[in-house]
Amino acid sequence: MNNLVVLPLLIPMLGGLITAIFRKNIIFRRLLSLLAIVLTGAASLLLAAQASRDGVQLLEMGGWPAPFGIVFVADMFSALLLVTSSLVAMACLLFAFRSIGEHRERFYFYPLFLFLIAGVNGAFLTGDLFNLFVCFEVILLASYVLLSLGGTKIQLRETIKYVVFNAVSSMLFLVAVAYLYAVFGTLNMAHLAQLVAEAGQSGFISVIAVLLLIVFSLKSALFLFFWLPGAYGAPPVAVAALFAALLTKVGVYAILRTFTLIFYHQPGLTHDLMAVLAALTMLLAGLGAVSGKDIRSILSYNVIIGVGFIIAGLAVFTLDSVIGSIYYLMHDMLMKALLFLLGGVIIIIVGHGRLQEISGLIRNHPLTGWLFFITALALTGLPPWSGFPGKVLIIRQALAGGAEHGGYFWLAGIALLSSLMVLYSLLRIFINGFWGETVLPRAMEKGSAKGLLYPCLILTLAGALLGIGAELFYPYIALAGNGLMNPDIYLQAVLGEVI
Amino acid sequence: MKGKDVILQTVTKMAAYIILAFSVYLLAGGHHNPGGGFVGGLMVAAAVSLLLLAYDIRIVRTGFPFDFKTLAAVGVLIAVMTGMGSLIFGEPFLSQNIFHLHIPVFGHIELATSLLFDIGVALAVFGTAMSIIYMISEDTCAWKR
């Protein structure tokens, strides 16, 4: 029993409720939101320290033991994601202070922001499949309102599509959960894992696994990403950055968790399917990114490429490739937030996102330009930035370790090709937007970038630390990967007394 | 048209009390029997909706002069706080405790801390349902103002 496990969910939730009650004073709401995020980050760090020192941390809600009650489980993997998401949330919140506008601030922006964080943290922590569904719904409800808040035409149009599509995918999720409950009579993830391991992953269970994979693919934009570029292009910058960094990654987390803990017995079916999906995702999204003419759409397609890359690591399914996936997942959360924030700075300065009409920003905004350049290099995976360790681990394993599955050379090739596409698409923004003649004098700028670069600097520093200090973080990430590849550790922690 | 139907208004005056009393019964009995905070809160909302149908929104506003959105948030806050009470005593989150009391008229009664949680849930459900009804009935956009 460790009550610390629930705090990353509780603190943002309390903060959200209090900011919802006291709506008058904007400064108070800002300070309280920031305090809530900082405290969440502190609790997550403490949790990570405990998980690395004492192993998996467990909280049985209301004292009900594992298969009967809801459990919250913080292993190293969850704790690392919690820390990363708190950092991203802090940067987006600081960016929102300056850019979101008073209308939205008065209209429940901060409560919704905090509820979204609470849902994300809950999804990372919960040890129960139905509870995971509930956390997804919490995230989605907050995201519906954040997406439509402001009521501009494009926002409302995209929100309708987003809501309809998510209602359908949530229904599929519920159907998959119901199938699992009908077969096993339990939804506790550890208990499910134990029962699947005992009964063997027969054809019927594999069908449920694939259904879950489809659901999580819809949520995380793995292959089924048709909804993403529109939806992520509509909301204000701070919200889009938060979505890009966290929303799809919760789906990725769910795939990583369920397909290493529960459905890992038939990798020939599920994990090979993931390899194909990941390859197609990287290729198609790469084409989208390369052919984009608008900053927002190029950045959105880059989010999808990242998802494909992380799942490629899981598909190869060796210890090192999964470690690479976790590494890349953390890097991707930080860098996608940074990329969206920097792209947003450009859009705020120029007033639109049409690449053809932007030129020569570097004269007046050198720091933005160089930060963008660094981010492009990091996302491509050039050393010493944070994308490198993850990419090197995944691609080396795909080339070497995949031999028993008939080789993953093609996957490694496509992954490398997609990296080139990322580099090309981002450098196109850099060259088009920052090089050339300065057509936009300072006085003509649509918005001010004042104060918007501090959160970007925070994320850049965090990313640089993750890349340059790769050796420093490796033991913790290896611990997380080890926990994923040895489900018995998780089972022992959750069901310890029962087995 | 509103405020004219004498039969509806007279029946509502009596029925509202019965519905409200039943909602309290459901709320309090929810620990062992069917009921609880959710349905209790919905029942209160049903009573108020009946008042809205029989009278009009201004009269109901004077009877319930608070912001329902805030009420919903306060309700959830109460529910979360009850769960957090167990953190202070070093018990797992959401643990509950039961007290046994002897009160002269009622005899032996059982008080569970989860009743506080249910009250929070009831307030949240009542507040949410009412703000939805108000929002539909008003049909204005608060955003532009």
Flag if B92 and A21 touch (Cβ within 8 Å). Answer: no
B66: distance to nearest CA of chain A, Å?
A: 12
pLDDT digits (tens, 9 = 90+) for A233-285: 889 999 999 999 999 999 999 999 999 999 999 888 898 899 999 999 999 99
Residues from chain A contacting residue B74 (CB–CB below 8 Å):
21
Q: Does A391 fall in a domain? A: yes
Helix (H) or strand (E) holding A120: helix A109-125
Q: For residue A297, what are the domain limits?
A: 273-468
Helices (H), chain B: 6-29, 37-54, 57-63, 68-88, 114-138
**Residue A32 falls within a domain, yes or no?**
no
**pLDDT band at residue B65, thresholds of 50, 70 and 90?**
confident
Q: Rounded to an integer, what distance in angstroms lies between the CA atom of residue A32 and that of residue A67?
A: 37
Q: Taking every pair of C-alpha atoms in chain A, what is the biggest distance, in angstroms? A: 70
CA A226/CA A221 separation, integer angstroms = 8
Interface with A, mutate which of B81, B91, B94, B135 (most A CBs under 10 A): B94
Question: Measured between alpha carbons, how far is A424 from A391 in angstroms, rounded to an integer?
Answer: 17
Of A20, A63, A151, the CB nearest to B73: A20
Q: Is residue A252 part of a domain?
A: no
Angle at B136 between CA B134 and CA B137, to 5 degrees: 65
Q: Please check whether residue A308 lies inside any domain of the structure.
A: yes
A23-43 pLDDT per residue, tens? 778 899 999 999 999 999 999
Q: How far away is chain B from the Cα of A145, in angstroms, using its nearest Cα?
A: 13
- Check residue A358 and give its pLDDT: 87
| Residue B36, Ramachandran bin (φ over 0: left; ψ between -120 and 50: alpha; else beta) | left
The structural domain count of chain A equals 1
In a domain, A247, yes or no: no
Decide if A456 is inside a domain.
Answer: yes
Residue A414 lies in a domain: yes
When pLDDT is cut at 50, 70 and 90, the band that residue B145 belongs to is very low
Cβ-defined contact of B87 to A3 (cutoff 8 Å): yes
What is the average pLDDT score of chain A?
A: 91
Q: Is residue A332 part of a domain?
A: yes
Q: In this predicted model, what pLDDT tens digit does every residue of A58-96 receive, in sequence order?
A: 999 888 888 888 999 999 999 999 999 999 999 999 999
Q: Are A311 and A442 in contact (CB under 8 A)?
A: no
Contact residues, chain B, for A3 at CB < 8 Å: 87, 90, 92-93
DSSP string covering A296-350: HHHHHHHHHHHHHHHHHHHHH-SHHHHHHHHHHHHHHHHHHHHHHHHHHHHHHHH
* Chain A residues close to B141, C-beta within 8 Å: 151
Whether B95 and A62 lie within 8 Å, measured CB to CB: yes
Instruction: Provide the whole-model pTM.
Output: 0.94
